[in-house]
Structures are given as C-alpha cells and as structure tokens.
Amino acid sequence: MFIAIVLAILFSVLSFINANKLISLKDDVPLKGLAFQTKILMITPIVALIILSAVIFNFHSLYRERIPHALLVLSMWMLMTNALFIYRNIKGKNLNLMTTVILGAMSFFAAIYLTPLDRYDILFNSHYYIIPSAIIVVFIAITYLNLIRIRKVYLPRKI
C-alpha cells in the first residue's frame, strides 16, 4: 500500500509539471484543434464512467471491489492520455520531454498492471477502499484541473 501512495504522489507531481510545460508555451502552441482536443479529453472519461457503471451494475457482482478498481484504471488511462496530449503539443519545442514520457509510460504500465482484479486486490486490501478512493479522486481532479488550466490559458486567444 505504501508503494501505491508513493506512486500516486509521483504521478501527481509529474502531471502538474507537464501541464506547466504546455502552459509556459502559450505563444508557441498552435490553437488549431486544441479546443476540440481538450473538450474530448474532458468528455470521454465521463462517457467511460457511464459505460463502466452500466456494465458493472448489470453484469457483475462484488460492486464494492469492482467500482474502485475500474475507477483507478480509468484514472490511470486519463493520466496517460493527458501526457500524450501534452507530448503532442510540446514535442517540437525543445523542452525536457523526459517527465512527459515518464508519466505516460508509468501510467500506461500501471493501467495494464492493475487491470486484472486480483492484482488490484494484492496492491490494495480488498476490504479497505479509502486509499484507492483518495488516489482516484486526486488523479481525476488533477487531470481535470490541468485541462481547465490549459483551456483557460489557450482558448481566450483568437485562432
């Protein structure tokens, strides 16, 4: 459980660093498609959450285990897609891309590793949902805060 908390803190810090990289390039990032991309990145997790909820409630048991598990894996995928979005927009600007690549790779491998429910149960005690729930809330909040910050910086400008 301690490893999960340390990784959650690392993911959070890397996510803020990456958003700050993109925000610092305010005048160099092309605006074409940025509004659409950020809107898609904000809507897709909500649609996925609705689909996951319908699938879990209709076809599975063990709701108390499966819902935090599904949300944690969803939040990892959100971090990875956010890192890819930032990488796509800063890759030609001579910034240190290492943190973006590290965040994307770590969240990708964490999402794949945590996808089987038994691995999730090994990492987090199956009857103890406070830590995974806190991690989920932090990851989703950070992802949305970063996207809102990016939209606030870039979208008031005229294309």
Domain boundaries, the chain: 1-11+42-154
Nearest alpha carbon to residue 107 among 68, 72, 144:
72
Assess contact for 119 and 65: CB atoms under 8 A.
no
Looking at residue 111, its pLDDT comes to 92
Looking at residue 80, its pLDDT comes to 93
The pTM assigned to this predicted structure is 0.84
Looking at residue 76, its pLDDT comes to 92
Looking at residue 109, its pLDDT comes to 93
Q: How far apart are CA 78 and CA 65, in angstroms?
A: 20
Ranges under pLDDT 70 in the chain: 1, 26-31, 60, 94-95, 126-127, 157-159
Could you tell me the CA-to-CA distances from 8 to 12, 15, 75, 114 in Å, in that order?
Answer: 6, 10, 11, 13
What is the token pair recorded at 110? 């964490």
Looking at residue 157, its pLDDT comes to 56
Match 């209709």 to its residue by tokens: 58
Looking at residue 158, its pLDDT comes to 53
